Chain A
Amino acid sequence: MARIDLKDLTIRFGGFTAVDNVNLTVNDGEFAVYLGPSGCGKTTTLRAIAGLEQATSGDILFDGKRVNDLKPSERNIAMVFQFVSLYPNLSIAENIIFPLKARGMAKAEIARKLDWVTGVFKLGDELKRRPAALPPGARQKVALARAVIRDPAVLLLDEPLSAIDEQFREEMRWELGHLQRELGVTTIYVTHDQREAMSLADRIVLMNHSKIVQVAEPDRIFFQPSSVFAGQFIGSPSMNLIDLVPVAGGLRLGDSPVVLSQSELPPGITARGAVKLGIRPRDLRLVSGEGHALAVEDTFSVGRERFFTFTVSDQILQGTDHRTQPGAGSVTLVPEGMMFFDAETGLRITEAAA
């Protein structure tokens, strides 16, 4: 078990900054999920924590001790990589006990641990087989088993489920979350899949362009995104974004007739520069003919979910509504769902700041 601190961590490859001045604390036993688009520096950060990448500047601390100069093997971490990397010439059992062999652990102890871990991952029948004989999902289970068998202080998982079929992935995700709580091992999990992050994380570390954008619990990051990027990256379908146009008495939604009056806006917001409204599809409602409301253009269903679209300033916006009302043709906004962003910086305008 360990607490991890990243202090002003920067990693450069030649002229390219892959990790830019990152500060983060991951608490003992926490399940932190690094989330962000491909290429934003998630893997590089994880590899630096493992000791496989050198920090250009800044510190990495385990339980308050600087580990920058420790070799990977001295950090007591276990890592699972995105692409399955089992040893094809070793059996499943030999693959799993691979980390224990290095430390010259007694045979009986190894057998006991192997027993435990194969029980956890239900791999009992596969032990004598070779990795090539297993489907990808089972192979990644073996990789996870190999990671946890050594009781690491920190578990580093780099998109471990991305190579697995959708259906099996759900199941693995659930098992993984369960196992992590049971072991209580500090875990950093990297993914670009926001749904995976939302379902696994104690806290989400949202990254973009080599920088941390926001660190928050899944609920909070969903309801209180700190920026347009956070708002749009998390949630599906994605958050709608509408330019607000200052008019007498308030702000108008783009080229639509809808005007948000002063009483519906955070205080002081009209005095600022350009502002955008963010609203999630779930915070849009279909109602029957209210004079000035936005007109629905299209409705469709995907499974049991109903979607509708409408247009503001030539942008097609999307809403979801579960309560079907026959004849409903207009869209209204749920006031609690409205979020305001500075059009320049993309940062959220909270009431306190506004």
Chain B
Amino acid sequence: MSASNTGSARITRWVLFGLLVLYTIYNLGPILWLVISSLKSRADLFAMPPKLVFTPDFSGYQSVFGIGAAKDSAASIGVFRSLITSVLVSTIGTSVAVMLGTLAGYVCSRFDFRGKGDFMFFVLSTRMLPPVAVLVFYHMMFAQLGLADTRIGLILIAVFINVGLATWIMKGFFDGVPREVEQIAIVNGYSRMYAFRKLVLPMVKGGIAATAGFCFIFSWNEYAFASILTTTKAQTLPVKISTASGATGIEWTQICAAGVVLIVPVLIFFWLIRKHLLMGMTFGVLGRK
């Protein structure tokens, strides 16, 4: 009885294990293929049957990072410039959005003001908006303002798509800090500004980092706005990858290398917050002790 039980339990375990392996291959396979392809020369890339053993060719990465001869070669599709654009837009956009979101989140957590509920909803609704619905108007607006195909324009977009979410997440973290933290300070003659900067902010450090991570990923991955609002000069990496072709046709090696580079920050971020993810990704619970 017990022997057959353990026997069937073992079979169940193997079946489950097998399914997990298949699922992992299904998920990781394309990424692995991408990584391998990014290291192949054009000839190896199109070899039939596909080569598993080959001499790695780093020209794709060289052009992405703008080093070596590959950067200036005729085959270069300008991914390096796109990388710089992506990094600038994401970091500056994230910084501004998190700064504004932190201030707004604090106010929404601590003060009652007329229309607060509506304000909070409006702020969140900017996040729910399907970008495609308004793209045409953004396109016209940006053209009028001279923001089309500029990094500044994309930074504004990055702030716009993130500030609402940042406000909500940060409000959650501030709600987790007892009001008494400031009140003790105020009773003792400190200003609220002092209490906010020196006492409350250090208590939500983790929250700010997590919010920044999310905002960075969102603007890093942002495609809809960037694809319509840029043409050549200010293309971000995702846009560049989707449109890239050089003088010698589609540069698969460069595209694959750019794809790998695109994935890395996402991996790093989720690796950093993996502990919190295990506890459940509810905003506001995240990082609370």
Closest to A132 in B: B289
Are B184 and A103 interface neighbours, CB within 8 A?
no
Closest to B203 in A: A88
Are A89 and B189 interface neighbours, CB within 8 A?
no
Distance between B2 CB and nearest chain A CB, rounded to angstroms: 46
Instruction: Kindly state whether residue A262 has any CB partner on chain B within 8 Å.
Output: no
Closest to B190 in A: A102
Are A103 and B189 interface neighbours, CB within 8 A?
yes
CA distance A71 to B188 in the complex (A): 10
Instruction: Kindly state whether residue B178 has any CB partner on chain A within 8 Å.
Output: yes
Closest to A81 in B: B180
Instruction: Kindly state whether residue A77 has any CB partner on chain B within 8 Å.
Output: yes
Are A72 and B186 interface neighbours, CB within 8 A?
yes
How many of A's residues come within 8 Å of B, CB to CB?
21
| Mask of B174-194 contacts with A, CB within 8 angstroms, 1/0 | 000010110111111110000
Closest to B177 in A: A85
Instruction: Kindly state whether residue A116 has any CB partner on chain B within 8 Å.
Output: no
Closest to A73 in B: B189
| Mask of B185-208 contacts with A, CB within 8 angstroms, 1/0 | 111111000000001001100000
Are A83 and B188 interface neighbours, CB within 8 A?
no
Partner of A89, one of B180, B187, B203: B203
Using Cβ atoms and an 8 Å threshold, which residues of chain B touch A83? Answer: 178, 180
Are A73 and B188 interface neighbours, CB within 8 A?
yes
CA distance A52 to B199 in the complex (A): 18
Are B178 and A79 interface neighbours, CB within 8 A?
no
Which residues between 39 and 53 of chain A lie within 8 Å of chain B, taking CB atoms? Answer: 50-52
Give the interface centre of A77, A81, A103, A150 by most chain B CB atoms within 10 Å. A81
Q: Given A88-B203, A89-B202, do A99 and B181 touch, yes or no (CB 8 Å)?
A: no
Using Cβ atoms and an 8 Å threshold, which residues of chain B touch A102? Answer: 185, 188-190
Are A52 and B188 interface neighbours, CB within 8 A?
no
Partner of A85, one of B180, B186, B190, B202: B180
Instruction: Kindly state whether residue A310 has any CB partner on chain B within 8 Å.
Output: no
Are A72 and B180 interface neighbours, CB within 8 A?
no
Using Cβ atoms and an 8 Å threshold, which residues of chain B touch A73? Answer: 186-190
Using Cβ atoms and an 8 Å threshold, which residues of chain A touch B190? Answer: 73, 102
Distance between A149 CB and nearest chain B CB, rounded to angstroms: 10
Give the interface centre of A77, A85, A98 by most chain B CB atoms within 10 Å. A85
Which residues between 145 and 185 of chain B lie within 8 Å of chain A, taking CB atoms? Answer: 178, 180-181, 183-185
Are A98 and B181 interface neighbours, CB within 8 A?
no
CA distance A102 to B184 in the complex (A): 12
Using Cβ atoms and an 8 Å threshold, which residues of chain A touch B202? Answer: 88-89
Are B186 and A87 interface neighbours, CB within 8 A?
no
17 new A-B contacts, CB < 8 A, other than A73-B187, A85-B178, A88-B202, are A52-B183, A71-B186, A72-B183, A77-B187, A78-B188, A79-B183, A81-B178, A81-B183, A85-B180, A87-B181, A88-B203, A98-B184, A98-B188, A99-B188, A102-B185, A102-B188, A146-B184
